[in-house]
Amino acid sequence: MSLGTRIKILDFLRATAVVSMIFYHFVYDLGDFGYVNMVTVVNGYWKLFAQTIGCSFLFLSGVSFWVMASKEIDWPKYFKRLTILISAAILVSIVTFIQFGQAFIFFGILHLLAACSIFAIIIYRLPVLLLLALSIGLLVLPDYYHTSQYYDGDLFSTRYLAWTGLYNGRTGSVDFYAFMPWSSAFVLGLALAKIFINSRRSTNVSPLSFKEEKNNALLTVMYWTGRNSLLVYLIHQPILYGLFYAVQKVSG
């Protein structure tokens, strides 16, 4: 979607999620470098905060997929974006393996977004009610599976099948988003977008757009951040980590 037809509110909300994620990673790095208690950062309300950010990315990606698919899917752009997403996910896995070893990210938020992008091609034409039911099913199925008398613990005994959400052990990964239940947020975003975003609506989409404010520097930065959220995601943590490392070296 070109800049002129992009729904501004999606860019703004995506940017808000990015800013929230940067803030959380800043606090996480404070814990990693010993300035705050790391146990506090990865548990309780902080963990809930991080998971809420992840769900918001997934939800907004579901909405964005319908914005793209409601008119007609541009397949070259779709496959280009999917290739970039998969490549970024692989890069994250490689870098975190170098840094964390066996605690590396083998199925994080980018891996899940790539999987959801593929899954969406299969389901996006389903009626809204079926999509809503699917969202609920993806959310509750892992709990049912683990508590069911038919649960076969050996079937998903390796952590590398944990991405399904049917793994009942600890992954040891520093960041993990299983397909179930987390993809339910993506499917919910897709379903609600089908309700509220009419595919026949003019590309102006003024009811869902922020009024253009050319002189508002904050909005300009937010819109840019929302449009380039993947780039910001990839570069922000190395920058933060590098800054903390430099400060620690200078102060030490």
pLDDT at 216 over 80: no
The predicted structure's pLDDT at residue 248: 85
Q: Quick one: average pLDDT of 14-25?
A: 95
Cα-trace Rg, the chain: 19
This model's pTM is above 0.85:
yes
Residue 237 token pair = 């943590």
Hey, what amino acid is at 203? T
pLDDT at 205 over 70: no
Residue 154: pLDDT band with limits 50, 70, 90: low
Mean pLDDT of all residues in the chain?
86
Position of tokens 């809503």?
132
Q: Quick one: average pLDDT of 1-30?
A: 83
- DSSP designation for 164: G
Hey, what amino acid is at 201? R
The predicted structure's pLDDT at residue 202: 41
Position of tokens 């490392």?
245
Angstrom distance (rounded) from CA 229 to CA 248? 29
Q: Quick one: average pLDDT of 41-53?
A: 93
Q: What is the DSSP string of 52-63?
A: HHHHHHHHHHHH
